Amino acid sequence: MMYKFFIACLIGLLPCLAWGGEEVFLPYSTQIADKNGAPMRGFLSSEDTFAEPVPLSEVSPWLVAAAVAAEDKRFYSHGGVDSKAILRALWQNSQKGEVVSGASTITQQLVRSLRPRKKNWWGKTEEAWAAFAMEKDHTKEEILEAYFNRLELGNLTQGVQSASQFYFGIDAADLSLSQAAFLVGIIKSPTYYNPRKHYSRALKRRDYVLKRMEEEEFIDPKMRTLAQEEKIVLRGNERPFEAPHFTQMLRPLLPPEVSFVRSSLDKDLQVFAQELVKTHIQKLSEQQVTNAAVVVLDNETGAVLAYVGSADFYHQANQGQVDGVLALRQPGSALKPFVYATAFEKGILNPSSLLDDEDTFFQDGFRPRNYDKNFHGKITVRTALACSYNIPAAKAAETVGVPALLQKLHEVGLTELGRGPEFYGLGISLGNGEVQLLHLVNAYATLARGGMYKPILLAHEPLIQLPGKTRRVFSEQTSYLISHILKDNQARSAAFGLNSPLFVPFEMAAKTGTSKDYKDNFALGYTPRWTIGVWAGNFDASSMQKVSGITGAGPILHDLAIYLNEKYPSPAFKTPDGIAQELICSESGLRAGNTCQHTQEEIFAKDFLPPVCQGQHAYNSRPVTIVSPTAGDVYKWDPASSASLQKLQWKANCASSICTWKLNGKKQSQKSCQTWWPIKAGKYRLEVSCEGKTDTIFFEVLP
């Protein structure tokens, strides 16, 4: 009885059922490309497939002809169910005693893909009536378009566009006759005819499809022969999987039903940065460093050009899927530029202001120590910032006030510093709070832009930005002064040497930061065009073996900056209006007056020029002190670097500019209190004499 009911419904003799048609839904997977359209990563659709819907006009006519010939030769004449095909299939199956022939039309295949039904007579009857309804509600062209976009063609591909790209690397519109027949051949059984596993089967099925096309007069015998002779070459089996952390972060921010995203990334730069991080971390493995992260920003737009979340996304032991760009880490000295910028902005300090680098107890028992464990006497802000000394930074923060400093840090985007001033205290100047690398890089980009904060741009189409508004945080003059100090290789040489990783053959402002117990280290660098940030450390918060920002993150910054400046050449920093260059008194840090015997040049914001120096200086009565090198320093000769660049700064604080130097008891020709010595391997006793006073330290240079 059910058998007769099924036959009657299929041949249209029982239009008694009131079932409606299926709602056509085209799945899509989100494809993320770089800023130039190069594929970066694809995400699965809601049906766990890679799908890219296209209109019928972008489907090769050969696909239409092949599908009609092989799957439904009376497609254009039936009303959803092919009664002749059903009778033929029933006859053949009854003769063989098993299912050897099917009768599903293209329309039936479509409704089945929209809502699979049980494979029994009742399910078949329901499917048939749904096909009738589909034909009633949609044109043949609409049915074909939905059909070609819903076809599953193996290896997680859904739709002819996705399959064409995956198997051949071309669009569905550009398929040849042979390629079109090859894809249509997979329809019968994507598993059995999977060309990645059963290429010969898929090729044999293609030949069958071409035979059917000839029989239905879509092609002639010559075209069939030529198509069979065409070699089907499958492209590589890989799907792009670049920037996994970035794309993972971006996807939830996308509007609904976005299938293609033109992100902000530069694929070539991204790949280079990924390999650079991986290679460098391998070199540091013996020093208990397992991971690093990198961000590169375009200053003008705020666009993320590169985003590396870890050294190896697949490394489970090192927690490679943790995103180091978004992880909260202590930045150490990387916050110091904002301490001094806040002081400059208020006119409290300037680059020549003198700060006492001496053992100091601050409120609440805070007693910072410098990285080199030495004190350097009275030094200028330029030296204090360039050499990243801790005690002067804490004193600068004390003069500014922690509430004002926190406010500025929030304004440059470091809103994760959400506790009150009393929680951080003066330690905030040395980076005792936790920040994201992404936000820290944008804070430095604010300095690079002349004090303008901009929200971070993640994608161009659709436009995706992180929350925030463009605003001025620091004046152009303040930003330029900070940048001028951070690009001053001589000013930082007393702490880092002339040939540190921060030195590059173009103008780049740079700063490092190392957290307590060597758990995190940072290196940041910027030019007027771009900004780089690097973090190195371990995601389990274990300590590195005395790896600082200059030795851990610094080399990654250096190599990436060299590559980046070749790809995106940057101009030098432009001096803004409102900057003055003045002679200052070396002893007081004030503008040189008539009584000043020792002077040097410095730059200032015109609105905050220091007063003119008057009279004698208490500084003159201080004993002579060697401030560079510091006692116990150990240096190493680098055979890969030019000898002309490997020099050590000898510097002494003295009222006079004339000093007498002795090295291992031998008087040297240098007579300035600030000079350079070409390094040579050995152990040394360095002595300086100035105005009857003497200081001595010991240092070593390794071969």
pLDDT digits (tens, 9 = 90+) for 29-46: 999 999 999 999 999 999
- Phi then psi for residue 643, to 5 deg, are -65, -30
Predicted pLDDT at 116: 83
The predicted-structure confidence for 111-132, as pLDDT tens digits, reads as follows 999 988 877 777 778 888 899 9
The structure tokens 């004499």 sit at 689
Say which residues have a Cβ less than 8 Å from residue 418's Cβ, sequence separation at least 6: none
Predicted pLDDT at 655: 65
Residue 434's Cβ-count burial label (10 Å; 0-12, 13-18, 19+) is middle
Cα torsion angle, 405, 411, 414, 418, sign: positive
DSSP 257-322: T--EEEES--HHHHHHHHHHHHHHHHHTGGGT--EEEEEEEETTT-BEEEEE--S-TT-TTTTTTS
> CA torsion, points 233, 234, 236, 237, in degrees to nearest 10?
-160
Q: What is the mean pLDDT of residues 275-281?
A: 96
- Phi then psi for residue 141, to 5 deg, are -65, -40
Predicted pLDDT at 85: 56
Predicted pLDDT at 2: 39
Lowest mean pLDDT among 268-277, 384-393, 487-496: 487-496
CA dist 123 and 47 (Å) reads 22
CA dist 226 and 214 (Å) reads 12
Q: Is 325 a residue whose pLDDT tops 70? A: yes
The most confident of 85-89, 280-284, 399-403, by mean pLDDT: 399-403
Q: What is the mean pLDDT of residues 562-590?
A: 96
pLDDT > 70 fraction of the chain, expressed in percent and rounded: 92
Q: Is 560 a residue whose pLDDT tops 50? A: yes
Predicted pLDDT at 616: 60
Lowest mean pLDDT among 154-168, 171-185, 287-301, 669-683: 669-683
The predicted-structure confidence for 210-264, as pLDDT tens digits, reads as follows 999 999 999 999 999 999 999 999 998 789 999 999 999 999 999 988 989 999 9
Pairing between β-strand 157-158 and β-strand 50-51 as defined by DSSP bridges: parallel
Structure tokens at 132: 């009738």
Q: 401 or 698: whose pLDDT is higher?
A: 401
The pLDDT-based confidence of 203 (bands split at 50, 70, 90) is very high
CA neighbours within 13 Å on the CB side: how many for 395?
23
Predicted pLDDT at 609: 96
Q: What is the mean pLDDT of residues 593-612?
A: 92
Structure tokens at 455: 């929200």
Structure tokens at 661: 């130097």
Q: What's CA 116's distance to the chain center, in Å?
A: 42
Q: Is 523 helix (H, G, I), strand (E, B) or coil?
A: strand
Q: Fill in the amino acid letter for 668.
A: Q
Q: What is the mean pLDDT of residues 480-502?
A: 94
- The yes or no reply on domain 269-567 and CATH 3.40.710.10 is yes
| Architecture of the domain defined by 2-27+43-229 | Orthogonal Bundle (1.10)
Q: 318, 290 in Cβ contact below 8 A?
A: yes
Length of the chain as a residue count: 703
Q: Is 269 a residue whose pLDDT tops 80? A: yes
Predicted pLDDT at 237: 78
Residue-wise over 452-487: b if at least 16 C-beta within 10 A, else e?
A: bbbebbbbbeeebbbeeeeeebbbbbbbbbbbbbbb
Q: What's CA 519's distance to the chain center, in Å?
A: 22
The most confident of 364-378, 463-477, 582-596, by mean pLDDT: 463-477
CA dist 415 and 374 (Å) reads 34
CA dist 278 and 536 (Å) reads 11
Say which residues have a Cβ less than 8 Å from residue 646's Cβ, sequence separation at least 6: 498, 499, 637, 638, 678, 679
Average per-residue pLDDT for the chain: 90
- Domain positions in the chain: 2-27+43-229, 269-567, 579-618, 623-702
Pairing between β-strand 328-329 and β-strand 435-436 as defined by DSSP bridges: antiparallel
Return the closest-CA partner of residue 310 out of 289, 283, 330, 331.
289
Q: What is the pTM of this model?
A: 0.81
The predicted-structure confidence for 615-667, as pLDDT tens digits, reads as follows 665 444 456 888 888 887 788 877 777 777 788 888 888 766 689 999 999 99
Predicted pLDDT at 621: 45
Return the closest-CA partner of residue 624 out of 653, 667, 598.
653
Say which residues have a Cβ less than 8 Å from residue 412's Cβ, sequence separation at least 6: 338, 442, 443, 446, 453, 473
Q: Is 303 a residue whose pLDDT tops 90? A: yes
Structure tokens at 422: 């009393």
Listed in sequence order, the DSSP H helices in 151-285 are 160-168, 177-186, 199-215, 221-229, 244-250, 267-283
Say which residues have a Cβ less than 8 Å from residue 444's Cβ, sequence separation at least 6: 337, 511, 524, 526, 531, 533
| Architecture of the domain defined by 623-702 | Sandwich (2.60)
CA dist 403 and 241 (Å) reads 44
Residue-wise over 507-517: b if at least 16 C-beta within 10 A, else e?
A: ebbbbbbbbee
Q: Is 666 helix (H, G, I), strand (E, B) or coil?
A: strand
Q: What is the mean pLDDT of residues 155-160?
A: 97
Q: Fill in the amino acid letter for 656.
A: S
Predicted pLDDT at 257: 83
CA dist 540 and 318 (Å) reads 8
Measured at the CA of 464, the angle between CA 462 and CA 467, to 5 degrees, comes to: 155
Q: 161, 153 in Cβ contact below 8 A?
A: no
Q: Is 413 a residue whose pLDDT tops 70? A: yes
Q: 447, 441 in Cβ contact below 8 A?
A: no
